[in-house]
């Protein structure tokens, strides 16, 4: 996997095991593999200044994931810091930087103007929004399976999902970097608008 050579092998193994927890349909290791593919492109295009920091943050950003919980990001950040402290040669500052990036994923668009590695990291996490239609549909269905019925009812999911998607469309830009906007902004808006339309029908709502 691209970029893994920059990271201690034990960190990769620890992260990989974390994604084997039950109940994952989208927030699984396949999501991390997709993120790593985008990370490789970002590196090749000169978009990453601290590659190991961004890489470890991507590996661990969903390491703890239980649909409906509000502390997934905090627990994932803590896991990353602890794993880094035990493995490799990371500094306290690097561990703090990784944790800070992971915490940003709690609310992607609530941080004002971000730039640099933080913006690239968040855009990589949301790259799926601008993916091909089939990939996007699999993502949307995977998220629904994670929430319904284990965390919320189908009706509550539709309401919350719709609110999230409308919030994305209301942003001046879904993506924070010109690099990702050029590649995926237009497709993301088409995908999101289509899912919103379907949420008012039966194709995604039905169980």
Measured CA distances, 69 to 3, 12, 28, 31, 34 (Å): 30, 24, 16, 19, 24
Domain residue ranges in the chain: 1-125, 133-207
- Reduce the DSSP state of residue 5 to 3 states and report it: helix
* Per-residue pLDDT tens over the stretch 93-124: 999 999 999 999 998 766 567 889 999 999 99
**Spatial contact of 124 and 42, defined as CB atoms under 8 Å apart:** yes
pLDDT-based confidence at residue 203 (cuts at 50, 70, 90)? very low
- Whether residue 2 is predicted with pLDDT greater than 60 in this model: the reply is no
Measured CA distances, 92 to 3, 17, 68, 95, 182 (Å): 22, 24, 31, 5, 35
Handedness of CA 65, 68, 69, 70 (dihedral sign): positive
pTM for this one?
Answer: 0.92
Handedness of CA 186, 189, 194, 195 (dihedral sign): positive
* Per-residue pLDDT tens over the stretch 135-194: 999 999 999 999 999 999 999 999 999 999 999 999 999 999 999 999 999 999 999 999
Enumerate the H helices of the chain as residue ranges: 9-18, 29-44, 51-60, 72-86, 92-104, 116-125, 133-147, 154-170, 178-180, 186-199
* Per-residue pLDDT tens over the stretch 50-94: 999 999 999 999 999 999 999 999 999 999 999 999 998 999 999
């Amino acid at each position: 996997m691209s970029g893994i050579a920059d990271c201690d092998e034990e960190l990769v193994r620890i992260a990989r095991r974390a994604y084997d927890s039950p109940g994952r349909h989208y927030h699984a290791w396949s999501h991390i593999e997709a993120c790593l593919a985008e990370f490789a492109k970002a590196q090749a295009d000169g978009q990453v200044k601290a590659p190991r920091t961004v890489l470890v943050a991507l590996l661990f950003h969903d390491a703890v994931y239980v649909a409906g919980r509000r502390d997934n990001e905090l627990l994932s950040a803590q896991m990353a810091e602890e794993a880094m402290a035990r493995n490799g040669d990371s500094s306290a500052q690097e561990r703090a930087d990784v944790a800070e990036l992971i915490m940003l994923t709690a609310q992607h668009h609530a941080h004002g103007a971000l730039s640099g590695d933080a913006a690239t990291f968040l855009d990589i996490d949301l790259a799926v929004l601008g993916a091909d239609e089939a990939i996007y549909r699999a993502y949307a269905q995977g998220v629904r399976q994670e929430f319904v019925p284990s965390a919320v009812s189908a009706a509550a999911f539709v309401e919350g999902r719709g609110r999230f998607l409308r919030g994305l469309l209301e942003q001046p830009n879904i993506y924070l970097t010109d690099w990702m906007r050029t590649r995926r902004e237009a497709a993301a808006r088409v995908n999101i608008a289509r899912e919103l339309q379907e949420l008012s029908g039966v194709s995604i709502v039905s169980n």
